[in-house]
Structure formats: structure tokens, C-alpha cells
Structure 1
């Protein structure tokens, strides 16, 4: 079947009831590669919200209320619904555990997943794009600021390159989505992007009512296919294999843990697989290490009240000005500032006196820095040096908090994450302080509450950090992106006997980050020689703090050097 043409039988109105035209079943098979049971469903509830299609691994339920509510030509609507469902069946991992994700986060992640799979389907079947765009335009609320309106604008912006929106959040989402267009198969990256955008909506105080929310485009399903809710029976895994550097497995997690577990660290948010280098054979083993984003440690009122003050960390002055800055709204310059010119014309038409600042002039600015501190939270960091009252991990946390405050005061953007590992099947990753999040008492207490446990599989954690930094970074400015790993020793894990194996894999992960435009650096708290750090990070991107008490000063010096390059 030519899916880029409109079959005549689909251009006629579709009868209601339980019967479905054979052409719909044929279209489903052609697009998804599997046979699906198509059924109609309706509701007897008066004044109910419009129904949306429901997708399972074996059935697609098409609402009959489309006839009254959403389309003059329901056959066109059903055709788009089938195409969208086929995109999920082909490219989406089904029944992902929701963990502690809030309903608004799930809705944002689902909207991004809808756009991701539609782009993938359109790459294979270009005609399907034209089936969906008119229905996206029909659901668009271009001036609303409710959650539904913002999602409708997001949906349209992600699928329509020439659409212009005046909302910062929508434009940020499109910019970050476009930055990932070259890796549409990387489900983990888009799910992480959804977490970022949902956090932004929370900061904007956008209200979300999960009982009233309906996916805006009428042709898209209700996204229950994507999630495994805690009280729902698991759907059998289909073994969907999505190629990519950071794929999320389609089945629900059952990672093997050999050591004792802390209940506070069993709330899983994201699961992604990454390659790992076997230096002995020179083979990069795909999907070898599993990174599991865990919920940050729970913060009690007692922990909040016990927070103490930390010394101020003074960063060395730096002067890394760049000459490529363009200063807008200037009284004179070489180019016109289009936005200022438009406002100038509007003021004149309104009878106001327009301002003279309508030019762009060259200038200089300090190159912004986005830094991710990655704390080693393995069990060995619980040890104390000599008679020191604090453990190495305590000093890591204090140094991270001091640097975070100083960097924010300097105008840089900083995040604090932590990691530990229990074999390649379970590299635990904690996002304690995210980019653009305030370093308030809750974030500080979450950092201080992170325990030291298990081992140090540094390469997988580095790859996940680089993926997060890649999607977080601003694409429209020349931004320097840096990962700094703070550790107490060489990478190790209980399933690896070769001392060089994880060092070489971490070296490969750092090299991958550099090729992506991210600087990877490290600082180690160790009194003896740390030649493995040179092996991993290169000759100039690492430091040694021979004593844990010297860690804040060493970290500040490394930070200043990296920021000045």
C-alpha cells in the first residue's frame, strides 16, 4: 500500500459502531508491521471530555465521538490516529515505570515522545506528516497560558519549523528538541528533556489537573501505552530494541543488586543503557552498562533544621571575554535590530514617541560556563582521613555546595549530581541540584543526605552526565560546558577484576565528551600517586587533593582554570 496517497475508501465518512473498514486494518499493518485489532469505543457519560484513542500492544480503540466533537471528516482523523499509533508501536518503549514522576511530568514527557515518534515515522513515510499537521493546527491555542494551551503550542511548534511563538517555554522546548533531532532514536535524551521542561512549568506555577487534562490533538492516543502505573498489571515486554547511545529499555527494570539497598534509593525515574569499552579486545560493547536515575534522598524536617553554614569560597578572578557578542538596542551600530525596529514602528502608529535604540553594535562579553559537578558516592568515600571528623564524602558535599554558591554568584550555571554502581546492571545516578534550580535549603539537604554505597563505575556515569549536559546546554550562544568528577580513587566495581578495565572505559567516556564539545575534568582525594587520573582526563584537566580538607581550594582552582580557557 502506498501510505503517502489517500485511499478512496478512507476519504468517505466512517460508519459508527464496532465494525471497521478493511482499509483501516490494512493501513495499520502497512505502517506498524503488525496486525492490530481495531475497535470503536464511546462513552455514555453526558458532557464528558472528548475521548482519545487508546493503544495497547494488541488493540487500538478509536472513539466514535470524533464524529461530533473533532472532525468533519472522521476518516481523515482515524487515518492520522492509526499513523500515530503505528509510530508508538514502532519506536516507543512500552509500559515504562512511572516511579515517583508527577502527572505533569508524565504529560510533558508524553508530548515529547509523541513528537519524537512522529518525526521518526515521517522520516520513513513522508506522507504521514501531512496527515497530522492539519489536526495539530486545529488543536492549537496560540495565546493561552494554561497547561493544555502550552502543550498544544508545544505540539505544533515541534512539528512545524516555520511556526513562530512568543512564549519563552515553548521556544526553549523547540530549541532543545531541535538540538536532539540528529539522535531521534535516543529515547533517554528526550525523556530527560521532558523532566527539564516539566520542572520549568513547576517553577512557572502552571497548574495541572490530571483528572481534567485531555491530550489536545484529537488524533493522538491518551498515552497509557507508554506508562506502567504502580497499581496496573504489567504488560508483556515486546523486546523493542532502539539503537542509540543512551537507550531506555522497553521492559520494566529488574536490575541485579548484590549489596544491601536503602529504601530511599529505590524510586526509579529513568533507565538508560550505554556502551562500555573492553580495551583488551578494542570492542565498544553496545547497551552494556545500565544507568538508573534514582529519586534524590528524602529530606526530613530534622535534616532541614540541622543545616549549618559553610565558609565562603572565593573564586580567582578571570577575564575570558569574547569579541563575538552583539549588543542589541543600541543608539548606533552597523546593523538594525529587527525587534527594536518593529517596536519603533508600532510606537509611531500609536502616536507615541519612539526610542532611538534600534541598532546592533559589536561588543564583548564573558563566555558563560555551564558546569556539572559529578560526585563519587561509592562506599569507599565513607572513610575518614586520619583523625578528621568528616568523611571524604562529607567533604565532597561541602566543596560542591561552596562552589555552587560561588559559581551562581559569578553568573555561571551549575548542577550537582552523584553516582555509585552495583555492577554494570545498576549504575545509580542522583540529580541532586539541576541546572537553573535554586540552591535552597531543600536542595542543600538533598545533597547532604546522599549516602556512600557500592562501587565506582565512572565511565557509564560520565556518559549519562554528558548526555544531560548536551541537551541542557544553550544552542544559541557560545557556552562552555564542563563536567568535573570528584572522586576518592580509581574506577572499580565488583564484577570487574582487571584494574585497567574501568580506567580505560572512563578514558573513552571522557574522550567521547570532548568530541561532543564538553570538557571532562576530575579531582581526586588521595595521598598517593594518581596516574590513572592523567590517563582518564589528560595532562591538564585533573588535580589531586592530598588531604580531604584541601578539596574546596583545589576544586576552586580547577574551576577557575577551566572557566578561563
Structure 2
């Protein structure tokens, strides 16, 4: 049993219903109960030598444990259903993210248990049939003879839902009596919290010992209650930490100052885009919200930095718009243009006046190109480049401005945009420099004013960039994404999920006639970036300080092809 493969083999032999196969129906159930779209995912089992896992609920996701076994329920699909119903009850009736303040861990556990019972009573009042979903699991998790904290809470949980249950413990009966006095006021959260505080104080007087690191919510279908509380950074519980998926280096910052800064930025519009779920083979329609914003307002230091001249790049002739080409449909030339000649013959036979431009000859022609540079503005881009004294984002900004100057000098159309995400409901998209906008001191200062924050939901950003590029009429349209790490977000718990989504977004852009390129400022970025954009237009930059030169080299290659 020390081998994870052996553990998984035993579960497979039990032929229990697959959680992955049940997720589509469970998603419909939680949406039907709560009238909210909640993503349901499996919570992976890292080790078998740990305490039992419990569901984890957030405002947009529900993680169901992958370690459910016959010890929890002989029919796992019933356990899944009860977990979803309990989560829906919290979403509808519980105040989320309450500050813990000075509450002790034992008080938090008791208040959470009473809150679990309150929201279930509200759900059962509206939907009486759900009672049969909860009672069996509360009964099987009951420890009728125990006097430990977990045993007393398990007895209280069952006593609050089953009036026929008899218990000889004073504290359990007191909990039932206090709870029953408020059954006509189930929406009064404050009153139930008061009686929970009284019960927690009684346990303290009884010298009941509580071990926060070892305590697990007794009923397997109930979540770990992290949805109910907001913890200071220094006391964040493990269940909350597991919900925080950080980006490749320092992770996404969630400080109040950043949220306030984003709130003051000018919003242009909101658009909904789909997202690919590779596990279900499903494109979730209208799954992500892209918030298009104006470029940040530059501060005085940014305006001063914008006056510093950038390094000039001299592009080779192959990067210009003029091309040697064979000109077709010419009035005279060295060879016959076969397609034009066929059309000429058809027009004559139909009695129309034919076009006499039926020759080809060598010459030059103008070739237009529109290029959109998409910068990753996530929190990890704020990491300092070793031996450089500046951040990765600073290097991205410099590279963007150098490329804008170089591409504009040879007549190409170019724009520079940036993105960062704070869950699927808030993918911030910044139009730093648009097409037909010159790189003057104001626009340069706006680019320099960008800050690193939040996460990297790349697929949604690529889809919005593709939508903007579809308005361009140039002969060639190119999107170049620059990132310092793998796509990630705090509401996604599968490392491969957003990589697959970004890959599908890039493939959709190519089908729309656009070239998608990627530059990863990450020595280990070959795996995910080549999957997203392919090998042909993928570059891995191990030294971020060389990004401007690498970006220009990629541009020259694209322009010459």
C-alpha cells in the first residue's frame, strides 16, 4: 500500500463509478440547484499517507476528492451527489469569505459545523427530497461513543438533522435545543453564529482538545469550510493554500492595492469567449470574460523613462514590404498566365469582352503585414532578471518598443497589447499600442506604466487577439505571444488544462489565416510553448536580457517567409 499504483489498481478493481465520467451530470445538478455555473474538478491525491480529503469549494469551483472509496460510501455516485447538493446550499445561503478575526481554530470548526446544518436545513425546506441525500452519510460518519472533538461534532451533526436520534451527551443535546429554537429563522446567520460561539465556549470549559492539523470534517460529503472564511496570509490553512495556483515564480499577487488599481482603470468593453476542456473533449461556450481596458495612465517617472532613446535596429532588406515576385495578369510579359488565359477563352466563348492581361513577368510588389505583439503581464513577470537589475516585464516592454520602431520603419502595421487574468471571470486585456498609433512619448510611457499582477490565462487572450486581428485587411496577419511561464490561473488546478486551451486557441487563429508565434522566457518552456504554437514559430529564451534581439530575429524570419 506504499505504492500509489497499487492503490489505484485496487480502486479500479472495485469498478467504482468514475468521478470524471460523473462530472458532466454533476455540473448540471449544481447549476440547477444554485442557478450558478460552477466548475467541478477532481482533487488529485498526492499521497495515501495523509488525512482523508474533503471537497473544496470556491465561488467558481468545486473540487471533489479523488480518494473517495467504499469506506466513504459503497455507492460513490450518491456521495458525489450529496457533495454537490451541500456545496449548492452554501452557494445559495452562506455568506462567503468572512474574516476570521480573533476566532480560535476550535470556534471556527464549531461555527462551520452549525453553518453546514443551517444551509442544509434551508435546502431541505425548499427541496424535501434532498434530505435522503444527506442523512445516510451523517449516520455512517457518527461516532456515538466518542468524546473527542471530532466525535462530538459528528454526534451534533446527526442530531441536528434527525429528530429521532437520541444521545446522552449534554453538549450534543444543548446544541440541538439551541438550534431548534431558531428553526423558524433559518436565514438569520448572525443568530446561528452566536449559538455556535456558545457551544465552542462550552467545549473549551469541558477541556476538549482540538488539533487543527489533524481535524477533518466528519461527513465525507461536506467541504472543508474554506469557502466560509478569509484568513490572514500568515494563518492560511492548507485547504486554502491548495486552491491558490501560483504562476511559475512568485505567483499572482492578490493585494488590496492591486485590486483598487485595476478598479480605477478605464474599461472599454466585456466579451465572452469559450474555453476548451481537454478532459471532457468539450468547448465550454461563453466560459471566460475578457475585460478590455485602456492602457495604464503613465506616471511622471514613466514619462521620463520614455524620453530615453531606444536602441535602433537595422533590419535586413528581406524584412521590408517590397518583394521580388512574378507579377500575374499583365498586359505584356515573357510567359503566358495560364489561369488568366483560360478565363480569357471562356469570356470569348460566352460572348463577353475578355480581359487582355494574360501574361506574367518578373517584378516587385508591395506585401502588407499586420503584427500584434501580446505581452504576458502576470505577477511572475515582475521577477528580477539575474545580473540585470530589472524585471522580466521591463525587458518585455523594451523588446516591444524596439520591435514597434523596427517594424514601423519598414512599413508594417504593428500593435502591442498585454494581458493578465484573475480567474475566468476577469481576463484583463490592455490595448497598450493600437494599429495606426505612432510610438511617441505618450504611448511609450503608457507601455512602461504596465505592472505585473495576477495570472496567465493565455487561451482567452489569444482568442480576443484573434478577434481584433480579423478586422485587419493585410495580406499577412501575425500574433506573437511573449510569456515567462506556463499558462495558469487561481481557479484552475490541472497544470495541463490551460495549456491545451491555449493550443486550441492558437489552432483556431491559424485556421482563420493568422500566423501564431510564441516566445517563452523560460528554460523549461519548450514543452508547453511548442505544444501551443508548434515548433516552426516557437523560441525559447533562457537569458531574458536577449529578448529584444530574439524578438527582432523572429520578426525578420516571419517577414522574409
TM-score (norm 2): 0.47
Bigger radius of gyration: 2
